Amino acid sequence: MPSATSAAPIPVYLLTGFLGSGKTTLLARLVHSREFADTAVVINEFGEVGLDHVLVGQSSEDDIVLLDSGCLCCASNNSLQETLESLYYRRLRGEIPAFSRIVVETSGLAEPAPLINALASDASIARHVRLAGVITTIDAEHGAATLDEYETAATQLAVADLVVLTKTDKVAPEAASAMAGQLRRQAPGAPVLRADRDGLQERTDLFQAADRRTVAPGQFGLERPRAWTRLAHVLRYGIASHVIRADGPVDWARYAAWVDYMQSRLGERLLRVKGILLMEDGAHYAIHGVRHVFSPPRPLDGEVPGDLSGVLVLITRDADEEELALAAAVLDGGA
C-alpha cells in the first residue's frame, strides 16, 4: 500500500449505472469484503436526500465511517472535486487511514462524462488522483428496456471499462446470458461480470477487471477486424460502436494527429475510445478517451494478446462511414 505521503496518484473507480440498477446493493456487499480493506468509498449524493449511505450500512452522523473490513465509507453532498480533495488531505494529515484506492458511487441520473473529465482536467485533482476505471451496473431484468429508453443509460454503458450485470437472480439463466451477450456487443472491450443480491457471482478481482491498465485474456471479446472497421452494434440515439485497427507500431506524431482528428471532426459525437496501441517505442499503451478528453496513454502491465494489439473501439453518435474510414486511415498512416 502506498504511504500517505506517496506522490503516486490514487486510483479512482467510478461506479455508475441507471437509477435502481443496483449500485448501492452491490456496494453494500462489497464494502464488507477483504477486497475493499484499503478502499475509501464515496457515496455522492449531490444534493439528493441522503439515503444510500444508510443502505450501505453507515448510520452514524459522522461523514466518514471505518467499517470492520477496513473500508472507509464517506457520504458527501459536495462536488466530486471537493470531496476528493478533502479525502486526500485528511489522509495526508493522518486523520483517516491511508486507503490505496477510491470508489465513487455516482447518482443514477448522472452522465458520467463530466465527472470523468473533471478528474482528468482539474489540475489540482489530477495531481492527487487518477481515473482507474468506470464500472457500470446494468439490471438484468429491466436493463434492455432502460438502455432503449434513456440516453443517459446508454451513455453510462458506452463509457464502461467493466459492466456488472445485476439482479441475475430475477431472470432465467438463459436470459441473463443473452443480456450479457448483448452488453458485450454494445460495450466491446468491457468485461461483463454477473451479480445478484449476494454480490458478485464470479470470484474476480473487481478492481483488476475494471482497471484500464491491465488486460485480461479474452477481455475484449472481439476479433481483430480483417477490414479497417467493423460496425459492432448500433444502439438507439444513433449511438454505435466500431472497431478500427492500426497495423504495426504507431509513432507519437501520428497518434497526436489522430487524436486531433477525432476531437475536431467528431467532437461531441465521440462518446468513448478504448483500446491498445503498439507505439514506436515498442511498448503497448492503453488508449482511453471519454468525449473529447483523451487521457495520456499509459504503458500496459502484462502480456497483450496479439489480436488485441492495435485494436481500438470507438463508440460514437451519428458518425458516418466516411468519417470512421478516415479515422482508421489517419491512425494507420494512410491519410
Q: From the CB of 59, what's the least distance to ligand GTP, in Å?
A: 16
C-alpha 98/C-alpha 91 separation (Å) is 6
| Smallest distance, ligand GTP to C-beta of residue 276, A | 31
Output 164 or 270, the one with its CB closest to ligand GTP. Answer: 164
Least distance in Å: CB of 79 to ligand GTP? 18
Q: Closer CB to ligand GTP, residue 63 or residue 169?
A: 169
φ/ψ of 25, rounded to 5, equals: -60, -45
Q: How far is the CB of 28 from ligand GTP (least distance, A)?
A: 7
Nearest approach, Cβ of residue 49 and ligand GTP (Å): 11
Query: What would the DSSP string read from start to end of 125-169?
Result: HHTTEEEEEEEEEEETTTHHHHHHH-HHHHHHHHT-SEEEEE-GG
Nearest-CB residue for ligand GTP: 108
Judged by beta carbon, residue 119 or residue 195, the one nearer ligand GTP is 195
Is 125 or 165 the residue whose CB approaches ligand GTP more closely? 165
Phi, psi of 17 (to 5 degrees): 150, 150
β-bridge mates for residue 104, sequence order: 14, 42
Plot region of 9 (φ>0 → left; ψ -120 to 50 → alpha; else → beta): beta
| Residues within the interface to ligand GTP (CB under 6 A) | 17, 19-25, 52, 108, 166-167, 169-170, 195-197
Place of cell 477490414: 227
CB nearer ligand GTP, residue 67 or residue 326: 67
| Contact between 293 and 268 (Cβ < 8 Å) | no
Task: Find, among 242, 239, 265, 275, the residue nearest to 335 by Cα.
Answer: 265
Residue nearer to ligand GTP on the CB measure, 195 or 286: 195
Task: Kindly state the smallest distance separating residue 325's Cβ from ligand GTP, in Å.
Answer: 39
Number of residues that this document lists for the chain = 335
HEC readout, 49-101: CCCHHHHHCCCCCCCEEECCCCCEEEEECCCHHHHHHHHHHHHHCCCCCCCCE
CB of 257 vs ligand GTP, minimal distance in Å: 40
Rounded (10°) CA dihedral 112, 117, 118, 120: 130
**Residue closer to ligand GTP, measured from CB, 29 or 233:** 29
The least distance separating ligand GTP from the CB of residue 250, rounded to whole angstroms, comes to 39
- Comparing CB distances to ligand GTP, the nearer of 196 and 332 is 196
Report d(CA 309, CA 98) in Å as an integer: 36
Q: Which is nearer to ligand GTP, 50 or 302 (CB)?
A: 50
- 186: closest CA among 149, 223, 158? 158
CB of 40 to ligand GTP, least distance (A): 18
CA-CA distance, 278 to 268, in Å (whole number)? 27
Contact criterion met (CB below 8 Å) for 173 and 147 = no
